Structure 1
Amino acid sequence: MGNREDLLAGAKRCLYEKGYVRTTARDIATASGVSLAAIGYHYRSKDALMNAALYQAMQEWGEEIERAFTTEGVAGATPAERFAATWDRVIESFTTHRPLWVTQFEIIAQIDHLPEVRELLAAGVDAARVGLAELFQNILATGEGKEEEQAAVGAFYQMMLTGVLGQWLIAPDSAPSGRDLTVALRAVAANIAPAGGADQAGPAGEGRA
């Protein structure tokens, strides 16, 4: 790798080990084996480099989430069983990327003092919602009303991810499992839908093939 790539790898390592706020330029230089001056040359500033590292780390986690939707081990399962199994895989990914998510919550707590990071995260919100709606329920923004549905469903799953993640970080042994989420969504959907109505919903995600 060249100095630019070494710096990015070092910054990402610091992101996982020390977090966003506590990482210094010297930390990155030490972790990457590159001079302090190279940070300004290649990335203009330490913050710009850390933002690039954060973006890459989030992309990598997003790719892992996509892999959670593999059908391996769930052939012949019902939609509800696939939904629960998928969430279990998503929750497993929290273990691999735990330092990243601790850092994310640290960033959120400091977000008023990190305008560039706020812009970076805000820019990815809509794309994340689209991706989650497609992954969980195969909702594409084609046809009347689909764009609104895609955004709403994506926001719902984004909220679930954040909520489950927060509970897992605090108390992983008592955080909800895929089965718990399935049971909960069945109860919520039954409470909202009219009794015996044609639009009564099962767990979100049951429409996914």
Structure 2
Amino acid sequence: MEIYLIRHTAVHNPGKLCYGQSDIALKADWQTSFNDLKKELGKETGDAVFYSSPFERCTQLAQFLSDDKYAVDDRLSEMHFGDWEQKAWTEIDQAVLNLWMADYVNFRVPGGENFVNLYDRCAQFWDDLQLQTQPKSYILSHAGVIRSLLAYILKIPLDKVFQLDIDYGAITKITTSGKNGEYQKVNYVNYQAADHNTKNQILL
């Protein structure tokens, strides 16, 4: 199976709000970004299945790319930031924020998740995906989800995942084969369709 992990395009967030599991508008030029992705993927999507996070910044793109034929899966949601959702980062209690920044893997955001929670549900989604039979899958989601999936596939320690750049609108491709997708290869990471450059190759 060919699997394309696509982060939603850039958001409009002038107030620098925390918005993991909150809806937030895309930037005004979203149509240009959508068209770039459509051009890059358009010839390859005919027999594909599309999955999306439930948040509008992802479903809007899923609808555009799939002609409104996609499935929403809550496990593809970004990390839940609990009491911090829709607050400016500067408004969050800095003592608590520092605790999270010192150990974001294990420290649970008040009223929300830690990174292990995000990783576990992403890993469950991935395992279920490998039981499917479609030749191509497109996953419209978030940076945290894509980092979690790459960490799961490549066995990257969770405290190292932010060393992976996952930009807005970037594409990561993974190929799986064998029974239940036991053979997995990362073909490229963080490719920007608008750049038209050589796809980044990950070195193992």
Higher helix share: 1
Higher strand share: 2
TM-score by length of 2: 0.29
